[in-house]
Amino acid sequence: RTLAMTIYGDLDLSLIKEFPKGRKNIVTRVVSPTQRERTYAFIRSQVLEGRQVFVVCPRIDPSDPSQKSRLWSEAATVKEEYKKLSTSVFPTFTIGILHGKLPSKEKERVMKEFKRGKVQILVSTSVVEVGVDIPNATVMLIEGAEYFGLAQLHQFRGRVGRGEHQSYCFLCTSSGADRRN
């Protein structure tokens, strides 16, 4: 439809040929289960340098009745990931949780705290896919990357790299995928 409107309609085509001044390419890597600890160590170093991190999961809750299939039962959940990260992986960092089933006021509060830098790591569902601008966030870790579409992955990746620091996107998968650029 957009292409047809460009060709036949009243829509102009604009080409953006360069990044905004000061922006860098986002380094993107596929992370297999064997590379998980190394990725956590890297995230730890970023947070200790004062940067912030998004962790995106495909599901909210392991007991969600709408996702009974075996395929979905293996997908990472926000609640489980939040618990794991806050208790055993990053117990000294401030970690927030965000998903669509939270009350609106709670979602607003969590996002304000993340924007202000009070929350160092935000564990979320796809609610952060669009409309989120946190220039200090330099890492996007996507759990269960194979459960998202390519357009969604691209949108998530676009949540980082908005500031002056080098940014990274880690696509975590349960398969033994090789690293890709």
Predicted model pTM: 0.82
Task: Phi first, then psi: give them for residue 140, nearest 5 degrees.
Answer: -120, 115
**Which residues, including other chains, have CB under 8 Å from residue 32's CB and lie 6 or more apart?**
173, 175, 176, 177, 178
Cite the beta strand spans of the chain per DSSP E: 26-31, 52-56, 95-98, 121-124, 137-142, 167-172
Task: Phi first, then psi: give them for residue 144, nearest 5 degrees.
Answer: 60, 45
What domains does the chain contain, in order, with CATH numbers? 19-172 (3.40.50.300)
pLDDT at 81: 93
Mind listing the pLDDT tens digit of every residue in the chain (181 residues)?
566 665 666 666 677 766 666 677 899 999 999 999 999 999 999 999 999 999 999 988 776 555 555 455 567 889 999 999 999 999 999 999 999 899 999 999 999 999 999 999 999 998 887 778 899 999 999 999 998 999 999 999 988 988 889 999 999 988 655 444 4
